[in-house]
Amino acid sequence: MSTHGELAEGAFVRTYVVTRGRTRPRHLLGLETVLEAGPGRAGPGQAEENERILALCQERRRSVTELAGRLGRPVAVVKILLSDLLDARALVVAVTDAYAASGADADERPTLDLLAALAVALKRKWPDAVYPQAG
Protein backbone atom coordinates (compact mmCIF):
# COMPACT_ATOMS: atom_id res chain seq x y z
CA MET A 1 0.00 0.00 0.00
CA SER A 2 1.38 3.44 -0.99
CA THR A 3 1.55 6.28 1.44
CA HIS A 4 0.82 9.87 0.54
CA GLY A 5 4.56 10.65 0.75
CA GLU A 6 5.40 7.95 -1.79
CA LEU A 7 2.73 9.27 -4.17
CA ALA A 8 4.02 12.83 -3.87
CA GLU A 9 7.59 11.65 -4.41
CA GLY A 10 6.51 9.70 -7.49
CA ALA A 11 4.78 12.76 -8.93
CA PHE A 12 7.91 14.84 -8.29
CA VAL A 13 10.14 12.28 -9.98
CA ARG A 14 7.77 12.10 -12.97
CA THR A 15 7.77 15.90 -13.27
CA TYR A 16 11.58 15.93 -13.12
CA VAL A 17 11.74 13.32 -15.88
CA VAL A 18 9.17 15.12 -18.07
CA THR A 19 11.11 18.39 -17.91
CA ARG A 20 14.50 16.65 -18.01
CA GLY A 21 15.42 18.47 -14.81
CA ARG A 22 14.74 21.93 -16.19
CA THR A 23 12.92 24.41 -13.99
CA ARG A 24 12.41 27.30 -16.40
CA PRO A 25 11.06 27.60 -19.93
CA ARG A 26 13.20 29.19 -22.64
CA HIS A 27 10.27 31.30 -23.88
CA LEU A 28 8.37 33.97 -22.02
CA LEU A 29 4.82 32.65 -21.89
CA GLY A 30 1.97 34.24 -19.99
CA LEU A 31 -0.99 32.33 -18.64
CA GLU A 32 -3.10 33.89 -21.38
CA THR A 33 -0.65 33.17 -24.22
CA VAL A 34 -2.53 31.38 -26.99
CA LEU A 35 -0.81 28.71 -29.06
CA GLU A 36 -1.70 26.88 -32.24
CA ALA A 37 -0.21 24.01 -34.22
CA GLY A 38 2.79 24.97 -36.31
CA PRO A 39 4.56 23.44 -39.32
CA GLY A 40 7.22 21.56 -37.30
CA ARG A 41 7.14 18.29 -35.40
CA ALA A 42 8.03 17.32 -31.85
CA GLY A 43 11.51 15.87 -31.58
CA PRO A 44 12.21 12.24 -30.74
CA GLY A 45 12.29 11.38 -27.07
CA GLN A 46 9.89 14.16 -26.14
CA ALA A 47 7.45 13.66 -23.27
CA GLU A 48 4.19 11.89 -24.05
CA GLU A 49 2.43 15.04 -22.85
CA ASN A 50 3.79 16.79 -25.95
CA GLU A 51 1.69 14.55 -28.20
CA ARG A 52 -1.40 15.45 -26.18
CA ILE A 53 -0.55 19.17 -26.36
CA LEU A 54 -0.17 18.94 -30.14
CA ALA A 55 -3.45 17.06 -30.52
CA LEU A 56 -5.28 19.69 -28.45
CA CYS A 57 -3.73 22.58 -30.40
CA GLN A 58 -4.56 20.93 -33.72
CA GLU A 59 -8.24 20.96 -32.73
CA ARG A 60 -8.13 24.71 -32.04
CA ARG A 61 -6.04 27.43 -30.44
CA ARG A 62 -5.41 26.89 -26.71
CA SER A 63 -4.09 29.08 -23.90
CA VAL A 64 -1.27 28.03 -21.60
CA THR A 65 -3.75 27.88 -18.72
CA GLU A 66 -6.16 25.65 -20.61
CA LEU A 67 -3.38 23.27 -21.66
CA ALA A 68 -2.11 22.98 -18.07
CA GLY A 69 -5.63 22.23 -16.88
CA ARG A 70 -6.31 19.63 -19.55
CA LEU A 71 -3.00 17.90 -18.86
CA GLY A 72 -3.41 18.09 -15.10
CA ARG A 73 0.14 19.40 -14.78
CA PRO A 74 1.51 22.52 -13.06
CA VAL A 75 1.70 25.56 -15.33
CA ALA A 76 5.49 25.80 -14.84
CA VAL A 77 5.93 22.26 -16.19
CA VAL A 78 3.62 22.87 -19.14
CA LYS A 79 5.52 26.06 -20.05
CA ILE A 80 8.73 24.04 -20.29
CA LEU A 81 7.04 21.51 -22.58
CA LEU A 82 5.54 24.32 -24.66
CA SER A 83 8.98 25.91 -25.01
CA ASP A 84 10.31 22.65 -26.45
CA LEU A 85 7.45 22.55 -28.94
CA LEU A 86 7.99 26.20 -29.87
CA ASP A 87 11.69 25.50 -30.49
CA ALA A 88 10.68 22.62 -32.79
CA ARG A 89 8.12 24.92 -34.49
CA ALA A 90 5.48 22.28 -33.72
CA LEU A 91 3.61 25.11 -32.00
CA VAL A 92 3.49 28.81 -32.73
CA VAL A 93 2.16 31.69 -30.68
CA ALA A 94 -1.17 32.73 -32.18
CA VAL A 95 -0.98 36.41 -33.03
CA THR A 96 -4.24 38.22 -33.33
CA ASP A 97 -4.73 41.77 -34.45
CA ALA A 98 -6.43 43.47 -31.53
CA TYR A 99 -7.13 46.52 -33.66
CA ALA A 100 -8.99 44.62 -36.38
CA ALA A 101 -11.97 43.96 -34.12
CA SER A 102 -12.20 47.61 -33.13
CA GLY A 103 -12.19 48.82 -36.75
CA ALA A 104 -9.13 50.99 -36.09
CA ASP A 105 -7.32 52.35 -39.13
CA ALA A 106 -3.64 51.59 -39.68
CA ASP A 107 -2.87 55.21 -38.69
CA GLU A 108 -4.38 54.60 -35.24
CA ARG A 109 -2.25 51.55 -34.47
CA PRO A 110 0.92 51.94 -32.40
CA THR A 111 4.07 51.95 -34.50
CA LEU A 112 7.20 49.98 -33.70
CA ASP A 113 8.95 53.28 -32.97
CA LEU A 114 6.27 54.22 -30.44
CA LEU A 115 6.50 50.81 -28.77
CA ALA A 116 10.31 51.04 -28.63
CA ALA A 117 10.09 54.52 -27.08
CA LEU A 118 7.62 53.21 -24.51
CA ALA A 119 10.00 50.38 -23.59
CA VAL A 120 12.87 52.86 -23.13
CA ALA A 121 10.71 55.09 -20.95
CA LEU A 122 9.63 52.18 -18.76
CA LYS A 123 13.25 51.07 -18.31
CA ARG A 124 14.25 54.63 -17.43
CA LYS A 125 11.42 55.00 -14.90
CA TRP A 126 12.07 51.58 -13.28
CA PRO A 127 15.75 50.76 -13.99
CA ASP A 128 15.94 47.97 -11.41
CA ALA A 129 13.02 46.04 -12.86
CA VAL A 130 13.82 42.83 -14.72
CA TYR A 131 12.53 42.79 -18.29
CA PRO A 132 12.85 39.25 -19.69
CA GLN A 133 13.11 38.94 -23.44
CA ALA A 134 10.26 37.20 -25.24
CA GLY A 135 10.89 34.36 -27.64
In a domain, 13, yes or no: no
In a domain, 18, yes or no: no
CATH number at residue 71: 1.10.10
In a domain, 113, yes or no: no
Among the residue ranges 2-11, 67-76, 80-89, 122-131, the one predicted with the least confidence is 2-11
Q: Which residues contact 108 (CB under 8 A, 6 or more apart)?
A: 99
State pLDDT tens for residues 43-76.
776 768 889 999 999 999 999 999 999 998 889 8
In a domain, 80, yes or no: yes
Do 79 and 64 touch, CB atoms closer than 8 A? yes
In a domain, 47, yes or no: yes
pTM score, two decimals? 0.61
- The amino acid sitting at 98 is A
Residue-number span of the structural domain to which 35 is assigned = 27-97
Q: Give the integer Cα–Cα distance in Å for 59 and 76.
A: 23
Counting the structural domains of the chain, the total is 1
Q: Which residues contact 77 (CB under 8 A, 6 or more apart)?
A: 15, 18, 19, 68
